């Protein structure tokens, strides 16, 4: 998959057009699995060790509902929570806020992101619980995640970056659909 440098604004699509581009920004605590999800979506593979400080934008051409779309995924690593947000706020067409279902701490870290994003605009947001394969060690119930999602009018999914590809792909495709709906 191809890389492009961060910070390049994408050509903005008009509010009423069906954008053929989707700039997706992954946010959330370090270790929640943002890079593993990115790699899974782009390569169908689970890469267990990934440089935790690596932050990049990956571009891929996808077909979603028989329509082509250029999906750019910005895999962030915000070590101190939602600081330095300006670099992705204007770029993003959709946000995916990730936590790990076996880490209450990672779930709690979603709240400042959701709060900050909800103050800053109407860009769609997806709340994503990762590491569903760790269900026996679950610390975050589906119910409390649904409640948090509804507080911020966002949708909520649970997936695992190391299980089936289609569930992970579904989340990214839903992000594209939300961008298309405008
Ligand atoms: P990031 O800091 O949010 O980018 O997190 P990474 O993608 O680097 O993942 C952090 C750690 O969690 C790594 O050791 C991954 O192998 C592991 N990991 C990521 N996704 C999953 C998952 O779905 N299930 C399990 N069991 N481990 C995962
Ligand atoms: Mg990472």
Q: What are the pLDDT digits (tens) for 121-156?
A: 889 999 999 999 999 999 999 999 999 999 999 999
pLDDT at 120: 82
Q: Which parts of the chain sit beneath pLDDT 70?
A: 1-18, 80-83
For residues 59 and 108, give the distance between their C-alpha atoms in angstroms, rounded to a whole number.
30
The minimum-distance atom of ligand 1 relative to the CA of 51 is: 8
- What ligand has the least distance to the C-alpha of 50? 1
Distance 58 CA to ligand 2 centre (A): 13
26, 31, 168: residue to mutate for ligand 1 pocket, most atoms within 8 A of CB: 31
pLDDT at 7: 42
Q: What would the DSSP string read from start to end of 40-89?
A: HHHHS---S---TT--EEEEEEEEETTEEEEEEEEE---TTSS-STHHHH
Distance 145 CA to ligand 2 centre (A): 22
pLDDT at 12: 45
Q: Using CA positions, which residue lies closest to atom 16 of ligand 1? A: 48
pLDDT at 151: 96
Interior angle at CA 120, CA 118 and CA 64, nearest 5: 70
27, 29, 31, 33: residue to mutate for ligand 1 pocket, most atoms within 8 A of CB: 33
pLDDT at 5: 45
The answer to whether the beta carbons of residues 72 and 23 sit under 8 Å apart is: yes
């Amino acid at each position: 998959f191809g890389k492009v440098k961060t910070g390049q604004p994408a050509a903005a699509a008009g509010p009423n057009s069906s954008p053929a581009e989707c700039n997706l920004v992954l946010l959330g605590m370090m270790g929640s699995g943002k890079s593993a999800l990115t790699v899974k979506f782009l390569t169908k593979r689970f890469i267990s060790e990934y440089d935790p400080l690596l932050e990049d934008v990956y571009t891929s051409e996808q077909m979603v509902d028989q329509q082509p779309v250029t999906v750019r995924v910005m895999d962030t690593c915000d070590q101190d929570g939602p600081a330095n947000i300006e670099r992705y706020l204007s770029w993003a067409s959709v946000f995916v806020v990730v936590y790990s279902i076996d880490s209450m701490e990672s779930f709690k870290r979603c709240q400042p992101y959701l709060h900050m994003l909800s103050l800053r605009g109407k860009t769609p947001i997806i709340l994503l619980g990762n590491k569903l394969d760790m269900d026996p060690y679950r610390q975050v119930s589906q119910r409390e995640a649904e409640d948090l999602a509804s507080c911020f009018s966002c949708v909520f999914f649970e997936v695992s970056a190391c299980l089936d590809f289609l569930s992970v792909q579904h989340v990214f495709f839903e992000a594209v659909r939300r961008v298309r709906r405008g």
